[in-house]
Amino acid sequence: MTYTDELIEAIGEYLLRLADDRMILSHRLAELCGHGPILEEDIALTNISLDLLGQAKLYYEKVAEMSEGEVTADDWVYFRDEREYWNVLLVEQDNEDFAHTIVKQLFFDVFEMLLYGEMVNSKDNDLKAIAEKSIKETKYHLRHSHEWMLKLGGGTEESNRRLHDAVELLWMYTGELFYTDEVDEILVAAGIAPDTSKFRDEYYNTLNKILVESELDKMDPDAWMQSGGREGLHTEFMGHILATMQYLPRSMPDEKW
């Protein structure tokens, strides 16, 4: 297909959104490296973190490629400020406890599964290829988070309560996953990006099914939802994440080891 300037600009913006979501969630999971509840789970979370980092890298590199070598993937990650990050608020939320970590992951995994399920039909060959590669990873991430939902929900009174608290807190961040603006409209019309509104019902039906299986109450898809991340307006956690994540390359630019 031929790309107009308008399309190229929209793709660039869209890729950064996809990349930032995965980068920040990857970083959140990486924070748990060495702090997992047991050795095996520590490795599981780190594996997922690395998968997401790999996906983010593919998107950043494609943007870098499109910008004709002026910026690198590292520039996007390490030298942008909070207001220039477009990730959804869900992924930057605190790990808090293991239940929060799992619920956050589940909310993201179910969405990602549906997104990639559509993106494999993208008319952009790179996006199509990334989706085909990533959907296998995502399928496993979902299997992991789903299994933990069942275990924590059906576990002890305390694990069920913690899971419940996490769902209550994080639910309001799910709406933003379906955020759309002119960037999405242009790309959906061109057959490049999936139309997320097509699977919104399926997303919430799937989540509610898992909540019931996990001995929790259903939640309301039409409840009030928090947003802002896609416009660069983040929660109090974001600055701390970037401070940790960007400290080294900013204090020692171009350092190699």
Q: How far is the CB of 26 from another protein (least distance, A)?
A: 16
Please identify which residue in 2, 34, 35, 40 interacts with another protein, judged by CB under 8 A.
40
Give the nearer residue to another protein in terms of CB position, either 62 or 146: 146
E strand spans, the chain: none
151 binds another protein (CB under 8 A): yes
Report how many residues bind another protein under the rule CB under 8 A. 12
Q: How far apart are CA 192 and CA 183, in angstroms?
A: 11
Give the nearer residue to another protein in terms of CB position, either 123 or 143: 143
53 binds another protein (CB under 8 A): no
User: Residue 251 is which amino acid?
Assistant: S
Q: How far apart are CA 70 and CA 128, in angstroms?
A: 25
142 with 110: CB under 8 angstroms? yes
Please identify which residue in 47, 67, 159, 226 interacts with another protein, judged by CB under 8 A.
47
126 binds another protein (CB under 8 A): no
162 binds another protein (CB under 8 A): no
Scanning the chain, the segments in alpha helix (DSSP H) are 5-30, 39-66, 73-78, 89-92, 98-119, 125-153, 157-170, 182-189, 200-213, 237-251
Residues 6+ apart with CB under 8 A from 242: 81, 82, 85
Please identify which residue in 144, 164, 230, 234 interacts with another protein, judged by CB under 8 A.
144
Nearest to 130 by CA among 119, 138, 140: 119
Please identify which residue in 38, 70, 156, 251 interacts with another protein, judged by CB under 8 A.
38
234 binds another protein (CB under 8 A): no
Give the nearer residue to another protein in terms of CB position, either 159 or 246: 159
The CA-based angle 26-30-88, given to 5 degrees, is 30
The residues of the shown chain that bind another protein, judged by CB under 8 A, are 38-41, 43-44, 47, 140, 143-144, 147, 151
